[in-house]
Amino acid sequence: MSIEAIFALLISTTMVYSAPLIFTAIGGTFSERGGIVNVGLEGIMVMGAFSSVVFNLSFAKEFGAATPWLGLLVGALVGALTAAVHGVATIFLRADHIISGTVINLITPALGVFLIKVIYNKGQTDMIQQNFGYVDVPLLNKIPVIGNIFFHNTSAPAWVAVIVAVLAWFLLYKTRYGLRLRSVGENPQAADTLGLNVYGLRMSGVLLSGILGGIGGAIYAESVALNFGAATIAGQGFIALAAMIFGQWNPLGAMGAALFFGLSQSLAVIGAQLPVIKNVPSVYLAIFPYVLTVIVLSVFFGKVKGPKADGINYIKSV
């Protein structure tokens, strides 16, 4: 295999596995920049994956190749509803953020499998026929060398994720809404004094995390797993959480970290084809992303500086 073919395979697979992580990590960034810790990203991805697969199986004949993209919208809606539960619990009922997110993570896989059993009378769905697959980017794939490496047989959702990351950075750091959201995550008392709606802004951040996390789960289900079962989403939400922290609660940083974790996941899939690591036992490559996640969370969680009021409930004084 030539060097160019190796890079093309590596980057193409990395983009596929990175796309769900980019969306979900950016979603977590919005929530935590508003002061709401969202460890429920895993559960939100589960519901996004579940709803998109059910939609895909139900309407593939009607919508054809557009079905996976419409599945993203369904995943976004269901993800937002799931995140809304977390938002209501933490913002209005003042629940502990970690406990609320953990409950979502525990309930959603069981709920998804239960609903699949009710709908299809079996433990997991059939494979979807309409999936994202691999596409070429028109014109750009004609560029010598670079076109073959980056824009041939690539993941369309991954390039959308890159665009979303840039837009999220602009929204968070260059707009009035972003400034206000960050202010309620840093000092909600001061923001309230200035007349900002702390509860509303925090809820908007949580809902954005649900929309983007639901899309992340839908992309994973419709580009990698291709069905839904109990193990469809197995740790991707926690990896996205690690990417958010590794990226220091910045959309572009989260995207870079998600690409790094996506690379580690892709090695487990294509490692046997790469001359440098093909002799490494597959079990080590399979567990590598999760070991890496634990290391990143252990090393960086206590050292990086997140929003000051992240995880602290705000009680409006009269």
Query: Is 12 contained in some domain?
Result: yes
pLDDT at 236 over 80: yes
For the entire predicted model, the pTM comes to 0.93
pLDDT band at 273 (very low <50, low <70, confident <90, very high): confident
Query: Is 94 contained in some domain?
Result: yes
Percent of the chain with pLDDT over 70: 98
Query: Is 170 contained in some domain?
Result: yes
Rounded to 5 degrees, what angle do the CA atoms 220, 222, 228 make? 80
Query: Is 311 contained in some domain?
Result: no
Q: Give the Cα separation of 306 and 68 in Å (integer).
A: 35
pLDDT at 237: 94
The whole-number average pLDDT for the span 181-197 is 94
Rounded to 5 degrees, what angle do the CA atoms 32, 34, 37 make? 30
pLDDT, tens digit, 9 for 90 and up, residues 8-30: 888 999 999 999 999 999 999 99
Query: Is 317 contained in some domain?
Result: no
> Are the beta carbons of 52 and 174 closer than 8 angstroms?
no
Token representation of residue 243: 């990417």
Query: Is 202 contained in some domain?
Result: yes
> Are the beta carbons of 193 and 90 closer than 8 angstroms?
no
pLDDT band at 295 (very low <50, low <70, confident <90, very high): confident
Query: What is the overall mean pLDDT for the chain?
Result: 91
Ranges 39-53, 122-136, 288-302, most confident: 39-53
Query: Is 305 contained in some domain?
Result: no
pLDDT at 278: 77
Q: Which domain holds residue 198?
A: 3-300
The whole-number average pLDDT for the span 89-98 is 94
Query: Is 314 contained in some domain?
Result: no
Domain CATH number, residue 52: 1.10.3470
The whole-number average pLDDT for the span 255-279 is 84
How many domains is the chain built from?
1
The whole-number average pLDDT for the span 201-218 is 97
pLDDT at 143 over 90: no
> Are the beta carbons of 220 and 75 closer than 8 angstroms?
no
pLDDT at 157: 94
